[in-house]
Amino acid sequence: MAHTTLADDHKTRRWLAAAGVLGPAAFVADWAVLGATSRGYSPVEDAISRLAATGASTRGAMTAGFVVYGAGLVLYAIPVRAAIAGRAWMWVAATGVATFGVAAFPLGTQVSG
């Protein structure tokens, strides 16, 4: 019996590829809504992570947005690896993992930056 991976199943591959669109889209929607409804937040002047800062009223929702974005990219790395020769998939996955870091270390903590 041949060895199969998640990327071998067409339906699964399509869902994983969709994560590469849905994760970032959900993140942008989250940012747009929270940014537009947060008093004193400027999408031009302030970092997105300011919405997830310690003490921000939007911290929970924006942190969730970062997690969804990171998960979408990590899942998307699977079909990228199957479809594109080289190491592009590693950069996709690394970006997702780095986004988890933003969620784990919000602005206002000793380890944030």
pLDDT tens, residue by residue, 59-99:
999 999 999 999 999 999 999 999 999 999 999 999 999 99
**28: closest CA among 48, 55, 7?**
48
8 Å CB contact between 24 and 95: no
CA distance 53 to 41: 12
8 Å CB contact between 88 and 17: no
Residue 60: both structure tokens together: 């929970």
CA distances (Å), 91 to each of 44, 51, 86, 94, in order?
27, 25, 11, 5
pLDDT of res. 109: 72
